[in-house]
Amino acid sequence: MRYLTALLALLVSFGGHAADTQRPQFTFTAIPDQNEAELVRRFQQVADYLSGELGVEVRYIPVKSYPAAITAFRNNQVQLAWFGGLSGVQARRAVPGSEAIAQGYEDQFFKSYFIAHGSTGIEPADTLPQAVAGRTFTFGSKGSTSGRLMPEFHIRETFGESPGEVFSRVGFSGDHSRTIALVQSGAFEVGAVNYAVWDKAVASGEVDTDQVSVIWTTPEYADYQWTVRGDIDAQFGDGFKKKLTAALLAIDDRAILDSFPRSKFVPADNDDYRAIQQTAESIGLLSDF
């Protein structure tokens, strides 16, 4: 009898192990808009939280570029992504049926800062200063909403010309942290940056405001959001998208929220980003998607 009991326990153990290994792994990524170490700290916390809430293994996969995040989403290497406004539009365009399901409260009222090196003498203004013309200028990533799309829209609206015609030299730093560093060092005279990254960097003492300062703030627009693939329930079971959405909206851990930084997450849908899509179409940034 003891032998039979032990055998049954062993079979149950093996069966449980097999069931665990057969469970699908839920993966997500995020656009690399800041330095990688910061992103890993933030999103590993999110992965750990979602694993507990969803009852499946959740893994965060870092990527090296905005296009890489969209490609991973399109190829089903990830099922969820933290996208910017433009990259989210591009990803949903690449994977029909995909949906924006949650955004930070602040993402409803996002904005970009134009920043300038102190040597330019450019003063803060209520409109984009004409004095930026002829300067050297850096965007963030080519696929960034706050670091490229909306700044370029306002540059074209103000000057009636493309950035290449307005500035003496145009660069792309790759991320917001790098934009701040390049303008602060004087490598570029002017740049455009995500306001939240700037505010957090200033608060933590990472910015020398004697060397670089904000000269103009854009009007508000919708930006970052969590976007999920349209076939998520087919992969993980009926109701998984609803459970995932509820988990994201329920995040109240201050360590997670402060790392974004956001006060909370609120519902989002694709219509929230229609203006982003129209702006991207107007300046030719959706032609490849």
Give residue-wise pLDDT tens across range 199-218. 999 999 999 999 999 999 99
Domain positions in the chain: 2-108+222-282, 111-217
Query: Which is nearest to 188 in space by CA: 114, 272, 100?
Result: 114
pLDDT of 256 over the 80 cut: yes
Q: Tokens representing 227?
A: 């976007």
Domain 2-108+222-282 and domain 111-217 have a common topology: yes
pLDDT of 205 = 96
- In terms of DSSP bridges, do strands 136-139 and 169-172 run parallel, antiparallel, or are they unpaired? parallel
Query: Which is nearest to 87 in space by CA: 202, 224, 214, 205?
Result: 224
Q: What share of the chain is helix, strand, coil (3-state, %, to 5)?
A: 50, 20, 35
Q: Tokens representing 66?
A: 């905005």
pLDDT of 21 over the 50 cut: no
Q: Which has the higher per-residue pLDDT, 77 or 24? A: 77
Q: Which residues contact 25 (CB under 8 A, 6 or more apart)?
A: 56, 57, 58, 59
* CB-based contact 176:197 (threshold 8 Å): yes
How far the first Cα of the chain sits from its last, in Å, is: 66
Task: Give the separation between CA 261 and CA 253, rounded to whole angstroms.
Answer: 12
Query: Which is nearest to 66 in space by CA: 132, 172, 161, 144?
Result: 144
Backbone angles phi, psi at 166, to 5 degrees: -80, -40
The superfamily CATH assigns to domain 2-108+222-282 is Periplasmic binding protein-like II (3.40.190.10)
Task: Give the separation between CA 21 and CA 197, rounded to whole angstroms.
Answer: 39
Q: How many CA atoms lie within 13 A of 9 on its CB side?
A: 6
Q: Which helix (H) or strand (E) holds 250?
A: none
252, amino acid identity: D
For residue 5, what pLDDT band results from cuts at 50, 70 and 90? very low
pLDDT of 283 = 81
CATH topology assigned to domain 111-217: D-Maltodextrin-Binding Protein; domain 2 (3.40.190)
Span of 8-12, 88-92, 107-111, 144-148 with lowest mean pLDDT? 8-12
For residue 24, what pLDDT band results from cuts at 50, 70 and 90? confident
Neighbouring CB atoms inside 10 A of 144's CB total 30
Cis, peptide link before residue 151, omega less than 30° from 0: no
Q: What is the mean pLDDT of the chain?
A: 91
Q: Which helix (H) or strand (E) holds 129?
A: none
Q: Which has the higher per-residue pLDDT, 7 or 244? A: 244
At 115-141, the pLDDT tens digits run 999 999 999 999 999 999 999 999 999
Q: Tokens representing 60?
A: 């965060």
Percentage of the chain exceeding pLDDT 90:
83
Q: Tokens representing 278?
A: 């129209």
Q: Which residues contact 130 (CB under 8 A, 6 or more apart)?
A: 158
Buried b (16+ CB within 10 A) or exposed e, 94-113: ebeebbbbbbbebbeebbbb
Q: Which residue has the tokens 């995909």?
A: 98
At 36-71, the pLDDT tens digits run 899 999 999 999 999 999 999 999 999 999 999 999
* CB-based contact 222:110 (threshold 8 Å): yes
Rg, the chain, Cα only:
22
